[in-house]
Amino acid sequence: MTILFRFLIILLTVFASAGCAKKHHGANSPIGVSPSEIYYSQVSLQFEKGRHLTTNYRRGTLLPINTQVMLNEISGKTIELEIMPSHAKLRIENVEKHTGDSPEQAFAKLFGKNKVDLSKFSKLEQDNILAGKVVKGMSRKAVIAALGYPPITETPVLTGNQWTYWASRFDRFVVNFDNDKVIKIQD
């Protein structure tokens, strides 16, 4: 009976640990990324009800570029943050089929230790980056800063002349480029 009891305990322990979500703290996080540290948004992104999908829908509350956040945890497919100074919670859910990124890679694209230097953009670009909008004349880098990255399912490479974004699950818009500048936005 003792052997059977030990076997059951070991078996339960194995199944319990196999079912736990993978949590990333310190050593398992991307190099230089640690929970409880301050980061800055590297792109303007939008969220609803405290949640942002990396599919990057363009609706909800705007989190402007260079917003200060504190990383709480990277766990499974999610990134848990606090928006500073309000301490409002923000959960970022990585949708890998639309980003091609692990949660750690998604975090590295969306957040960094330093603010983005907006002085490298024109006044037109700066205004629209801060508003989370795209207009004619913006560069590719300015579009990424303003809108984030388009889903790879619609825009597999960023060197193409058309980037497709999703305003919502069923509503898409296309940003057209020529010579690295936006020439048209199609709804």
pLDDT in tens, 8-60: 344 444 334 333 333 333 334 555 678 899 999 999 999 999 999 999 999 99
Whether pTM > 0.85 for this model: the answer is no
Amino acid at residue number 153: T
How far apart CA 115 and CA 97 sit, in angstroms, is 28
In DSSP notation, 2-53 reads HHHHHHHHHHHHHHHHHHSPPEE-GGGSSTT--TT-EEEESS-EEEBTTEEE
pLDDT in tens, 79-95: 999 999 999 999 999 99
Counted residue by residue, the chain has a size of 187
Start-to-end CA span in the chain (Å): 70
Task: Strands of the chain (E only): list them.
Answer: 23-24, 38-41, 45-47, 51-53, 61-63, 68-75, 78-83, 88-93, 111-112, 162-168, 171-178, 181-186
Query: b/e map of 124-147 (b: 16 or more CB within 10 Å)?
Result: ebbebbbebbbbeebbeebbbbbb
127, pLDDT greater than 70 = yes
Give the domains, in start order, of the chain with CATH numbers. 23-112 (2.30.30), 122-186 (3.30.1450)
